[in-house]
């Protein structure tokens, strides 16, 4: 499941909670922070697993060449930063889209 659809699913799962927080005038920042923390934990776990596997396989692949090239940490750091930024943008998009919806529309069928 892709990041976009997973974040949409998770935000839709918490939509009633967001509507109730909005009705009692709670801060939407905490809701967005909760969603971000969930996804950043998942992204960090995925990066740790992927970085270890790719370091091993790329090092093994580079060792087969006659002119040895050492593997640097910079591409892994850049990919972690890019993945974090994409995760934050995607989750913020869904969370802010839901936070501006009228809570009456969400809660009228409850």
Q: How far is CA 10 from CA 4, 13, 32, 62, 78, in A?
A: 10, 5, 12, 40, 27
Q: Tell me: the pLDDT tens digits for 61-88?
A: 888 888 878 888 999 999 999 999 998 9
Q: Which residue did the predictor score with more confidence, 69 or 92? A: 92
Kindly report, residue by residue over 25-65, the tens digit of the pLDDT: 777 788 888 888 888 998 899 999 999 999 999 988 888 88
Which tokens is 29 given? 């920042």
Secondary structure letter of residue 38 according to DSSP: H
Nearest by Cα to 35 from 80, 88, 75:
88
Instruction: Choose among 69, 46, 44, 71: nearest CA to 56.
Output: 71
């Amino acid at each position: 499941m892709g990041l976009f659809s997973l974040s949409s699913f998770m935000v839709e799962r918490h939509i009633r909670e967001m509507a109730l927080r909005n009705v009692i005038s709670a801060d939407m920042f905490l809701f967005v922070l909760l969603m971000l923390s969930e996804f950043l934990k998942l992204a960090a776990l995925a990066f740790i697993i992927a970085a270890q596997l790719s370091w091993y396989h790329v090092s093994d692949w580079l060792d087969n060449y006659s002119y040895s090239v050492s593997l640097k940490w910079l591409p892994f750091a850049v990919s972690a930063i890019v993945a974090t930024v994409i995760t934050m943008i995607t989750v913020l998009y869904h969370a802010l889209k839901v936070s501006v919806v009228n809570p009456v529309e969400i809660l009228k069928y409850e």
